[in-house]
């Protein structure tokens, strides 16, 4: 079963990368951007008997490694009928 | 005192620490590979700076779950002490051995410069040779050193005197301008509740010989050496 984990900085924590990218966009004429925040995307394929068990495993992965609970929140969504990103290098 | 310097893939300050401990302080020291769990031979373990595992995912995240780090709680419970500098501080926070987390510098720049540190707690095994309010000069070299904790934890750190070093001016004033990375409350180094694990972003090993611009980093080692009593245990505070 495949899952997509989104890891985001918690609300209220200053995202300096996002602020820099927002300024850069403003320089390109996108001054209408009100807010921009950068997070991480983790795609994971787990071998479990049931979707509930698989999701519980991914949740445990998030708590123990994928997200830092002091700084970050995460969401987990199941991806159906979709391949994970290609592993072959892009030429 | 028997020192161990932990080496992860991507560690860079291991040789500097090894050199200072063996050639400047003339103490026995061995490298410890990140897969080792056997730590009984050591009194003090050093987690040096660098980019363990390429800083993948988050700085210190992967190293914080490595076999040697998983063995640290037992090592500390058995009377050992741990010093983490730079990436070592990030690893100790990621592993939950120290409170808080280190984020990207507020200025977004990698900062490699001299800093001044105000000694806030001179009663740890790492700072016994200092006095409160003393100013130490040590360099920093990092891109992710902005210390963060929630308000509740910050209050607890202050109450328990766990904040050991804060960035300051050469005169000892804790100002915004003296803060190189945006750390909360200018925090540069903290200890655990027991005072047996210290993490700091600056590099004491790079301030250990006058030929390299200063020797203030040695005071941490001298404090440790002065804290070890004959039976092999450390004086507590």
Question: Is residue B230 pLDDT above 80, yes or no?
Answer: no
CB distance B61–A68 less than 8 Å? yes
Task: Please give the residue range of the domain that contains residue B162.
Answer: 3-227
ipTM of the complex: 0.84
Bridge pairing between strands B44-47 and B3-7: parallel
* Among B41, B36, B35, residue whose Cα is nearest residue B3: B41
* B103 interfacial to chain A (CB closer than 8 Å): yes
- Would you say residue A26 lies in a domain? no
Question: Is residue A91 pLDDT above 90, yes or no?
Answer: no
Question: Is residue A83 pLDDT above 70, yes or no?
Answer: no
* Among B72, B73, B27, residue whose Cα is nearest residue B47: B72
Residues B5 and B229 sit within 8 Å (Cβ to Cβ): no
* Structural domain total, chain B: 1
Question: Is residue A8 pLDDT above 60, yes or no?
Answer: yes
pLDDT tens for each residue of A24-54: 999 999 999 999 999 999 999 999 999 999 9
* Structural domain total, chain A: 1
- State how far residue B64 is from chain A, nearest Cα, in angstroms: 9
CATH number at residue B10: 3.40.50.880
For residues B28-39, average pLDDT: 96
Token pair of A89 as six digits: 């290098």
Smallest CA–CA distance from A66 into chain B, residue? B57
Task: Please give the residue range of the domain that contains residue A58.
Answer: 2-11+39-79
Determine the 3-state secondary structure of B197 from DSSP: strand
Question: Is residue B160 pLDDT above 80, yes or no?
Answer: yes
Confidence of residue A86 (pLDDT cuts 50, 70, 90): low
- Would you say residue A73 lies in a domain? yes
Token pair of A76 as six digits: 């987990």
* B58 interfacial to chain A (CB closer than 8 Å): yes
A76: Cβ–Cβ under 8 A, 6 or more apart, which residues? A3, A4, A5, A55, A58, A59, A62
For residues A65-86, average pLDDT: 86
- Would you say residue B159 lies in a domain? yes
| Predicted local confidence at residue B95, as pLDDT | 97
- State how far residue A13 is from chain B, nearest Cα, in angstroms: 9
Q: Indicate the Cα dihedral angle B30, B33, B35, B39, nearest 10°.
A: 10
pLDDT tens for each residue of B56-83: 999 999 999 999 999 999 999 999 999 9
| Predicted local confidence at residue B234, as pLDDT | 76
CATH number at residue A55: 3.30.1280.10
Confidence of residue A87 (pLDDT cuts 50, 70, 90): low
Instruction: Indicate the residue of A13, A40, A70 with minimum beta-carbon distance to B100.
Output: A70
CB distance B100–A14 less than 8 Å? no
Cα distance between residue B47 and residue B66, in whole Å: 12
* B105 interfacial to chain A (CB closer than 8 Å): yes
- Would you say residue A71 lies in a domain? yes
């Amino acid at each position: 079963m495949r899952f997509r984990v989104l890891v985001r900085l918690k609300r209220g924590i200053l995202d300096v990368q996002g602020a820099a990218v927002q300024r850069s966009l403003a320089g390109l004429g996108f001054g209408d951007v009100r807010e921009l925040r950068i997070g991480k995307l983790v795609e994971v394929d787990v071998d479990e008997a049931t979707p509930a068990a698989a999701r519980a495993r991914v949740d445990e992965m998030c708590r123990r490694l994928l997200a830092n609970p002091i700084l970050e929140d995460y969401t987990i969504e199941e991806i159906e009928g979709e391949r994970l990103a290609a592993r072959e290098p892009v030429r | 005192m028997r020192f161990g310097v932990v080496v992860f893939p991507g560690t860079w300050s291991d040789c500097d620490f090894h050199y200072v401990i063996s050639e400047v302080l003339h103490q026995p020291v061995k490298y410890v590979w990140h897969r080792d769990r056997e730590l009984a031979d050591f009194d003090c373990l050093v987690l040096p700076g660098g980019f363990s595992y390429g800083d993948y995912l988050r700085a210190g995240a992967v190293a914080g779950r490595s076999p040697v780090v998983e063995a640290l709680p037992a090592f500390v419970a058995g009377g050992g002490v741990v010093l983490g500098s730079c990436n070592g501080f990030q690893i100790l926070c990621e592993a939950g051995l120290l409170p808080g987390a280190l984020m990207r510098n507020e200025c977004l720049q990698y900062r490699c410069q001299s800093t001044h540190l105000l000694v806030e707690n001179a009663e740890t095994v790492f700072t016994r040779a200092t006095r409160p309010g003393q100013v130490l000069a040590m360099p920093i070299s990092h891109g992710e050193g902005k210390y963060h904790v929630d308000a509740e934890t910050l209050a607890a750190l202050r109450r328990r005197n766990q904040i050991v070093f804060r960035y300051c001016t050469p005169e000892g004033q804790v100002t915004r301008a003296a803060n190189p990375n945006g750390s909360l409350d200018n925090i540069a180094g903290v200890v655990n509740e027991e005072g047996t694990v210290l993490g700091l972003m600056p590099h004491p090993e790079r301030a250990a010989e006058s030929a390299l611009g200063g020797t203030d980093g040695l005071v941490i080692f001298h404090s440790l050496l002065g804290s070890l009593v004959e039976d092999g245990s450390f004086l507590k505070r």
